[in-house]
Amino acid sequence: MAGSTKKKKEKEIKNAWLKYDEKQLKEVDALSDEYIDFISECKTERECVEKIVEMAKKLGYKNLSSVKKAKAGDKLYAVNKGKAIALFIVGKEPLEKGMKILGAHIDSPRLDIKQNPLYEDTELALLETHYYGGIKKYQWVTIPMAIHGVFCKKDGTTVKVVIGEDPADPVVGISDLLIHLAQDQMDKKAAKVVEGEDLNVLVGSIPLKDEEKDAVKANVLKLIKDKYGVDEKDFLSAELEVVPAGRARHYGLDRSMVIGYGQDDRICAFTSAKALFNCKSTDRTAACILVDKEEIGSVGATGMTSAFFENTVAELLDKCGNYNELKVRLALQNSHMLSSDVNAAFDPNYPSVMEKKNCAYLGRGMAFSKFTGSRGKSGSNDANPEYIAKLRAALDKYNVFYQMAELGKVDQGGGGTIAYIMAKYNMEVIDSGVALHNMHAPWEVASKADIYETEKGYEAFLKEI
């Protein structure tokens, strides 16, 4: 299937797999293998930031706060509270000429453990959770789950937790009712089949000997104390996330896809970071910003609405010896951004929610949305056609496969991203990214060709815009 297609015909094919030669197929595999490792190891925003910092340091990136001066060619990063990161390659042009910004989010739907979580009922120990982001709750029961996160102790130390990923580890999970007793449950609406308050995670069933009250709970607390040196009160200042356990995998008999947890939006985060890491030199400053809290509205100090990025740009200008308030504003206003988030790929099982001429398809490359939103594009960032034309020229120059896609047909639903927040600075922004099947389910599916095309698209953006 590879190699023989003539240049002229390449323009007509839509499926990216048809254009690859042997060398490119190897590159597709290599990138997706690295990606599979990334999403298997990084299942929280903190783990993503840690990994990206490790990758950046190997390439000579330095912490912005540790340098006194910055100049063209410097590679710098700034971390916000361990849960968001901005990376820069300082350009030859002054910062106020604007930046080329790749942005994505690194938080994903999951179940967060509450602050007073542990209780015992009929000699079973359970943890209370509050789900994070939009989920179909019935999808999150009867699957092996892992616990990732941190306990922050009063003495100022932080203890990291990862239980359920090593094959030797135990996993935890949430029960569902057996079909034999589910007559009433099966009559309920899907939104009520499993209710949020019932997403309680089963974590133990052995009573501690000689303990009179809540002996199973006491045993779980003893295990946690022995392993992590924390007691029950330390849940008050913990951030623990219950996520699907286990590694991402190759998907499809032809291994053309990836199934894994948290691909929304670590698939765009990973490819954005890789494109920056592959960027050798740049005229205008190149940036990559990976943020938290998108799934709950980009709120909070580590979300996109935080002043973190703006402050970091101010600090960078200062270290370039060039700070004033106007220059900060110009640096943002004159920027171009690919605000990347996942899109919905057409699914033959559910054709009715899509408009076939204007939706994304697995294997057809990077997906762009001029607008998203719902009910008359409400909440959307409607990208300017002048900017889209520039992008088309850049992508075509490097033969990147891309598709224009709206998330679902008109008035079917819709979704928001971080694009509108960056557009407030009056910069050029468009939504782009990789299309998925099963978005927001415990296991999401992406095409390896789309991962590859999207990374190449980001590289073309950094070279040409």
Cis status of the peptide bond prior to 265, with omega within 30 of 0? yes
For residues 198 and 130, what is the distance between their CA atoms, to the nearest angstrom? 10
The least CB distance from residue 103 to Mn ion, in Å, is: 11
What does the block give as tokens for 347? 């699914």
Q: Give the DSSP per-residue string, 76-142.
A: EEEEETTTEEEEEE--SS-GGG-EEEEEEE----EEEEEEEEEEEETTEEEEEEEEESS--GGGGSS
The least CB distance from residue 444 to Mn ion, in Å, is: 10
Tokens 């088309």 correspond to what residue? 392
The least CB distance from residue 153 to Mn ion, in Å, is: 32
For residues 433 and 342, what is the distance between their CA atoms, to the nearest angstrom? 5
The least CB distance from residue 120 to Mn ion, in Å, is: 35
Binding site for Mn ion (CB under 5 A): 264-265, 341
Cβ proximity to Mn ion, 298 vs 447, nearer residue? 298
Cβ proximity to Mn ion, 239 vs 295, nearer residue? 295
CA-based max dimension of the chain:
80
Count of CA atoms in the C-beta half-sphere (13 A) of 220: 19
Cβ proximity to Mn ion, 47 vs 265, nearer residue? 265
Tokens 């935890």 correspond to what residue? 172
Cβ proximity to Mn ion, 265 vs 428, nearer residue? 265
CB count within 10 Å of CB 429 equals 27
What does the block give as tokens for 192? 């009520």
Closest CA to 90 of 73, 66, 65: 73
The least CB distance from residue 89 to Mn ion, in Å, is: 25
164 SS3 class: coil
The least CB distance from residue 119 to Mn ion, in Å, is: 30
The least CB distance from residue 458 to Mn ion, in Å, is: 16
The least CB distance from residue 250 to Mn ion, in Å, is: 23
Cβ proximity to Mn ion, 241 vs 264, nearer residue? 264
Cβ proximity to Mn ion, 105 vs 327, nearer residue? 105
The least CB distance from residue 295 to Mn ion, in Å, is: 5
Is 373 in contact with 414 (CB distance < 8 Å)? yes
Q: Enumerate the H helices of 206-253 as residue ranges.
A: 215-228
Is 346 in contact with 406 (CB distance < 8 Å)? no
Is 235 in contact with 118 (CB distance < 8 Å)? yes
Cβ proximity to Mn ion, 224 vs 434, nearer residue? 434
Cβ proximity to Mn ion, 165 vs 265, nearer residue? 265
For residues 3 and 337, what is the distance between their CA atoms, to the nearest angstrom? 34
Count of CA atoms in the C-beta half-sphere (13 A) of 392: 10
Cβ proximity to Mn ion, 128 vs 264, nearer residue? 264
Cis status of the peptide bond prior to 184, with omega within 30 of 0? no
The least CB distance from residue 131 to Mn ion, in Å, is: 13
CB count within 10 Å of CB 48 equals 29
Cβ proximity to Mn ion, 341 vs 453, nearer residue? 341
